[in-house]
Chains A and B, each alone.
Chain A
Amino acid sequence: MRWFGFGFNAFGQICVHEKLVEGSDTVNEVKVINPTELSSHVDRSGCRQDIRASWSRRASLHLDGDGCVCLAGFGAVTSEECISVAESRGCKDAFISESYLTLVFPDRVESWDLDTKKKTPAWSMEIKTQPECSGTHLNLPLVPGGYIATKPPFYQSLSPHLKAKSLALGAEHAILLSATGAVYTWGLGSHGQLGHGGLISEEEPRAVEALWGMPMSCVATGGWHSVCISDGGDLYVWGWNESGQLGLPSQTLRKAQQQSGQQADASTSPREDPQEGEDDKEVFISIQAFPALVDITPPCEIKTVSCGSRHTAAVTTAGDLYTWGWGEYGQLGHQILSSDEPQRVEFFREQQMCVVDVVCGAWNTFAAVVKEEVANA
């Protein structure tokens, strides 16, 4: 399995250029628009490698045999640096946020402060594994009895009746998939990201009623949006659409693109374009408070999905990767920087590669590929 990355690279988390190390970065090095292969520190061909990414870092999990984690990006001196073998050796799973790296071992969970580089974890907790009880393997941030937050206080308990199978954390909300295929959300709702139809916040997990009766197989969150995949491979989205991250028409995005030639952005370009009449007939969505079905043409079955802050990346069962949303740093992997319509990343087709997995950092995207013949074998 090989991994390719594209998008935000200001800390060399996708690939390092010599110039970057010397301190004079150029646009091309910070914004990696064309998918670039990740070089593996530990050269063990054929071994399974998983990726986790935060805003400034990328973690590679080598899980065959004795697991270990390698970090690239902010703070990593060379192109790739294995964090001290003693610290990550033997881990079964890892989760990275901007300030902490959380590791799961057979008997314990630990969160390490990435900034201070101390010799002991900032927090740890014992876990008692009951090998016969868990039919489903728990994945971070889920741990027995609850989940690990991205900063202190780390441990948050979850009611066992939720039967948590997987969990994703956004900037101000959380989404949980239960073993029965039901979806629960909680946290702030001001951007519609809870999917209950309004903008109110929820303190406790609340079932997304619109999806009731349709079992879901996968959930993911961006900064302010939520996505899930049904058993049948349909993709549902809800939340903030200011950059088209829902794949629905976005007025803010269109207006920004209309500005002639100028590269506009949400952060300092508020100019209203006085062109009227053109988009009168189209309905724009800035907040989608109920789940909506994403239309991808040609129609396809979605296998897995991941989200960055303001973009979404989905892998189809046919091995294609589609991306949409905010793309100013190249995180969509094609020449059209930002888009409110799902677009296929042609690079992988052209290289005859079959995409099998996708993981997003805040402003970048990592895709796992196998050669087409291997996939079809």
Chain B
Amino acid sequence: MLWSKISAVLPPNEEQFPLQFSDKVESSVVDVLKRSRQQLYSGDAATASRMLNAQIILDISWEKLNTGTWRHVDKDWRRVYSYGCLFKVAALCREDPSEERILQAVRTCDMGLLMGAAVMDNILQVLVQILQGEVRKATKEEDETEHANIKRIKIECPRVPVIKEELAVPRIKCPSLESFNTNYLLPLKPVILEGIIDHWPALNEHPWSIEYLRSVAGCRTVPVEVGSRYTDEEWSQTLLTVNEFIDRYILNRFKISQDGVKSVGYLAQHQLFDQIPELKEDIRLPDYCCLGEGDEDDITINAWFGPGGTVSPLHQDPQQNFLAQVVGSKYIRLYSPEDTDKLYPHQSQLLHNTSQVEVENPDTVQFPEFAKAPYLECVLQPGDMLFIPVQHWHYIRSLELSFSVSFWWS
């Protein structure tokens, strides 16, 4: 029974259930947390009452999480939020929950993982694995027409650019650490490394495909960017399950909006591998990262999963980047930071690392110098890993269904 599995990973009794917070968390809030803790171990509290107390904790901490800038939100409020998620999950799963309730519990765990801070040895991660196990038991067989759909998606490849040889990003197969360091890292020169990710399980034992992603993470909630590019007014972020994202933005199962414009959805810049450890096992940290000065633990790994046509406008990042291509292909253009003066970065603080120019359709009147800026370009294919040196401007457009993994390191 589900509750006994959940019970088994919780502390055995109220006394051993920690609720320690700094004085940033007011006593009144701690009072509600204690009520929830008491109800967790009491047999006679009503589900409605448990849900209500959990909801109070979630609502008050949600308000705190939305107060001030994100980086200034006190970590203890994020912990309170995670406790709220924990109590809500416990209330949902107490009495032989339906599949709908279990999915709601998974969503609740994900909200805690995305917005909260780890509590009780990252218990939400433990719980979501248990819950996913229950969901998989109930999953029906795959839809066979999905295979046909994917083939159809692969065939439509609009606007595949022809790469001019003299502008191509150089390619090198499995260079030694030293040669990479000397020829590319130290001089900060972009290069495509071939053969580096060939042994990833993502390309071998567990080839990443839509079916595989559904089976590993289908019911998990992830942040999705909606809109053609993040500099657009219509751009926004929303939260969807992986299944919903695939159905809506990859397979286009829902009708398009009335003015005929298909909206683009992109699972972008998300630390998916922290959220779903099973996927982390399908990738490897590139050895070359050890050439940096930073800690291995400080390396940020992001997932980039979306249909053809996603665009990341020309921008620069404050760290070195290895961009590994696992599924599908992407057109990428690179500009040196030395030519920043020809790239017209936005003035605002928020977007000062982003160019105002639309790379593949530049306004030559508004941005006359842009055409003079030298660049390198490539079509990144599965198995390739592109080295984007720190502060190097890059523009990326997916040519088809694509899944990339980026490593930001120093």
Measured CB to CB, the residues of A under 8 A from B are: 10-11, 23-27, 30, 55-57, 74-75, 98-99, 115, 171-172, 188, 190, 223-224, 265-272, 274, 276-277, 280, 309, 328, 362-363
Contacts and interface: CB of A to CB of B under 8 A. Distances in A.
B67 A172 contact: yes
A274 B244 contact: yes
Nearest to B31: A74
B63 A74 contact: no
B139 interface: no
Interface SS, A side? loop
A172 B62 contact: no
Contacts of B27: 74-75, 115
B48 A27 contact: yes
Given A267-B59, A267-B61, A274-B247, 18 more contacts: A24-B45, A25-B53, A30-B52, A57-B28, A115-B27, A171-B63, A171-B67, A188-B68, A188-B69, A266-B62, A267-B111, A268-B108, A270-B221, A271-B240, A272-B240, A274-B244, A277-B255, A280-B258
Contacts of A269: 107
Given A24-B45, A276-B255, A172 B68 contact: yes
Interface in B17-38: 26-28, 31-32, 35, 38
A277 B84 CA distance: 35
A56 B31 CA distance: 11
A309 B56 CA distance: 14
B55 interface: yes
B67 A190 contact: no
Contacts of A267: 55, 58-59, 61-62, 84, 111
A223 B67 contact: yes
Nearest to B23: A115
Contacts of B244: 271-272, 274
Enumerate the 9 nearest inter-chain pairs by beta-carbon distance, A residue then B residue, closest first.
A270-B239, A56-B28, A267-B62, A267-B58, A74-B28, A171-B67, A268-B111, A115-B27, A274-B254
A115 B111 contact: no
B326 to A, nearest CB: 26
B49 A24 contact: yes
B176 interface: no
Contact of B238 (A270, A277, A328): A270
Contact of A224 (B38, B66, B241): B66
Nearest to A170: B67
A272 B32 CA distance: 30
Interface of B: 26-28, 31-32, 35, 38, 44-46, 48-49, 52-53, 55-56, 58-63, 66-69, 84-85, 88, 107-108, 111, 221, 238-241, 244, 247-248, 254-255, 257-258
A276 B44 CA distance: 44
Instruction: Identify the interface centre among A26, A75, A274: most chain B CB within 10 Å of its CB.
Output: A274
A217 to B, nearest CB: 29
Contacts of B38: 23
Contacts of A362: 63
A265 B31 contact: no
B162 to A, nearest CB: 37
B52 A25 contact: yes
Contact of B55 (A172, A188, A224, A265): A265
Nearest to B240: A272
Nearest to B247: A274
Contacts of B69: 188, 190
Contacts of A276: 254-255, 257
A26 B59 contact: no
A11 B28 contact: yes
A10 to B, nearest CB: 6
16 contacts: A11-B28, A26-B46, A30-B52, A55-B28, A75-B27, A75-B28, A171-B68, A223-B67, A265-B58, A267-B84, A268-B58, A268-B85, A268-B111, A271-B239, A277-B258, A328-B59
Instruction: Identify the interface centre among B28, B31, B240: most chain A CB within 10 Å of its CB.
Output: B28
B227 to A, nearest CB: 14
Contacts of B48: 26-27
Contacts of B108: 268
B28 A98 contact: yes
A268 B91 CA distance: 14
Instruction: Identify the interface centre among B46, B48, B52: most chain A CB within 10 Å of its CB.
Output: B52
Contacts of A56: 26, 28
A362 to B, nearest CB: 8
Instruction: Identify the interface centre among B35, B46, B60: most chain A CB within 10 Å of its CB.
Output: B60
A25 B49 contact: yes
